[in-house]
Each structure stands twice: as C-alpha cells, then as structure tokens.
Amino acid sequence: MKSIGIYYRVSTDRQDFESQKHAVEGWLSKLDPDKAPKKTTVWSDEGLSGNNLNRPGYKALLSAAFAQKIDTIVVYRLDRFSRNASDAIKTLLSLDEVGVAFISITQPVLNLGHENPFRRTMLAAFAEIAEIERQTIVVRVKAGLKAAQERGVKLGQPSKIDDDLKIKVQEKREAGLSYRAIAEDLKLSYGLIYKVAQTLSSEK
C-alpha cells in the first residue's frame, strides 16, 4: 500500500465529511509504519447519491485507479463508494484486475487487500454474483422481446440497437444515470440512447 486514494461522499448539503474523515484518519494513524502509505490523495462528492455513477470525484478516483496512479482505494463504508451493490461488485472486480486493492475501514469483511487470506474466495463469490445478475438481465430483455413480438410489435430497429446495447442501457438506467450521462459514457448520441430506452419501455 504505497499510494492510496481516499473517497468521501455525502448525499445532502446538510451532511458533512467530518465523521468519515475522523474515522479514516484514525485508521491510518493506527497502521504499522511499514504499512503506512507513502502518498495519499483525497477525492469527494457532496450532495450526490451513491446510485449516480457520474459523480465527478468518483470518476476521478476510478480514473486514477485504472491508470494505476494509486494502488489502494480507502472508504469509510462501501455505501459511500456506491449504493448499488451489483455495480460496486463489478467495479471492485475490475479494480482487482489492474492490481488496485479496496478497503472499507468499518467493514473489514469486504476488504480486498492483497494480504487478505480470503481474497480469492471473495473475488470468486463476487464474480458469480455479477454473472448471475448479467444473466438475469439478458433473460429479462429476451423475455421482453418475445412478449413484444407476441403482441405484434414491430422490432425492426436500426442495427445499432442490439441486445448488448439494450442490456448496457438498462444496467446504467437502473444505476441512476440520465440518458445524457449514458450517452457520454458509451460515446453514443443522446438520440440513440433515448430511442433504446423507449424500446425497453415498450417491451416491458
């Protein structure tokens, strides 16, 4: 743990970061000198829901992590990082692939530090949960398509709107992203994303 990224988040303007900071700083002060980070960077988001994946501080934190500018992410609780459990699991799996550890100082059972003896078991469990959710979404989309066809709905969308895109849009909408945020994230036009969303609505 040489370079860590600390992330704080509060949902409303009436809250503050002090309790989170106090707890994290207390945790850092108790580390053995040989385990203390050489560099610490702090990111935060204020007044933003944990379901919103378009938080500026959150995105900057992940950008630094995937660029391997930090080797460990430290949070007060997992729900400060993300309130969407499935999204959090997918992100933690992706972070582990690039060698970035994750520590929730109040929930050590969730820690994916490389010194954790149960790390591989936890990663396997997380991966299974993520796959189950992905398969559930695939089944839901296919069932919607079949139901639409049975109702006589014409499904001749442009070739850009395939099942994979529908699944991605549905996942991101369920994570709380706006149509515009999804378009920016997938580097597609707002109009196309809106059309996909309307298609999904008609298939329910």
What pLDDT is attached to residue 131? Answer: 63
Using pLDDT thresholds of 50, 70 and 90, give the confidence band for residue 151: confident
Residues 6 or more apart whose CB falls under 8 angstroms from that of 29 comprise none
Question: Checking phi first, is residue 188 left (phi over 0); if not, alpha (psi -120 to 50) or beta?
Answer: beta
Domain range list for the chain: 3-116, 133-203
How many CA atoms lie within 13 Å of 42's alpha carbon, on the beta-carbon side?
Answer: 10
pLDDT over 70, % of the chain = 80
Residue environment code for 133-152, b if the CB has 16+ CB neighbours within 10 A, otherwise e: beeebeebbeebbeebeeee
Q: Which of 64-78, 94-108, 119-133 has the highest mean pLDDT?
A: 64-78
* Residue 1: closest CA among 117, 100, 88: 100
So what's the pLDDT on residue 180? 86
Q: How much is the pLDDT for 57?
A: 95
For 90, the enclosing helix (H) or strand (E) is: helix 85-97
With a cut of 70, say whether residue 118 has pLDDT above it.
no
Confidence band of 86 (pLDDT split at 50, 70, 90): confident
Q: Which fold has domain 3-116?
A: Rossmann fold (3.40.50)
- Please check the confidence at residue 157 and state whether its pLDDT lies above 60: no
Q: Please report the pLDDT score of residue 134 as a whole number.
A: 63
Other residues' Cβ atoms within 10 Å of the Cβ of residue 123: 17
* pLDDT given for residue 34 in this prediction: 86
User: What does the block give as tokens for 86?
Assistant: 């499935």
Alpha-carbon distance 11 to 71, whole Å?
A: 26
Count CB atoms within 10 A of the CB of residue 6: 24
User: 67 or 126: which carries more pLDDT confidence?
Assistant: 67
> Rounded distance, CA 128 to CA 124, Å?
6
Q: Please name the helix (run of DSSP H) or strand (run of DSSP E) that holds residue 131, with its range, or none.
A: helix 119-150
The pTM of this model reads 0.60
Q: Give the mean pLDDT of 20-32.
A: 93
Instruction: Check if the beta carbon of residue 39 is closer than 8 Å to that of residue 3.
Output: yes
What are the tens digits of pLDDT across the range 176-204?
888 888 888 888 888 888 888 888 877 66
DSSP 12: S
Q: What pLDDT is recorded for position 61?
A: 95
Q: Which of 123-127, 133-137, 157-161, 180-184 has the lowest mean pLDDT?
A: 157-161
